[in-house]
Amino acid sequence: VKYLLMIYQNPLTWQGMPESEKRAFMSDAGAIVDELIASGEWVGGEALADPSTAASVRVRGGVPTVTDGPFAEAKEQVVGYCIVDCESQDRAVEIATRWPDARQWGMEVRPILSPDGVEM
């Protein structure tokens, strides 16, 4: 089963962090990615640009409204994601537990709907 791991951060806190601490975060994350590539569980993932660069789009009655900023106003925002293909949700949660952002902010693990299925 594939899982989306959403990485949450408070961008303001991140900006205030000392450079050395940021580097430690990134190298921790990089090490996990290398490990997942080696285990064959890594499917993909990217870091996102600052939430202030986001555009939220809604169409009502055929009329699009585009507003600057993320969809939900919150201190913590999605700043990146990984997709992993692993045996169980427990394993996906274990990966999220080790992700550096989980120590400071949080991670959200979501199973990805599979296009496969069997009749009942």
In the complex, the residues that contact another protein under the rule CB under 8 A are 1-2, 37-44, 85, 87-89, 111-120
Query: Closer CB to another protein, residue 34 or residue 50?
Result: 34
Query: Closer CB to another protein, residue 64 or residue 117?
Result: 117
Closest distance to another protein from the beta carbon of 69 (Å): 30
Closest distance to another protein from the beta carbon of 118 (Å): 4
Query: Closer CB to another protein, residue 61 or residue 115?
Result: 115
Which residues share a beta bridge with 58? 65
Number of C-beta neighbours around residue 6 at 10 A: 17
Which residues share a beta bridge with 71? none
Q: How far apart are CA 12 and CA 74, in angstroms?
A: 12
Question: SS3 for 93?
Answer: helix
Closest distance to another protein from the beta carbon of 54 (Å): 26
Number of C-beta neighbours around residue 52 at 10 A: 10
Query: Closer CB to another protein, residue 19 or residue 119?
Result: 119
Question: SS3 for 101?
Answer: helix
Question: SS3 for 90?
Answer: helix
Closest distance to another protein from the beta carbon of 88 (Å): 7
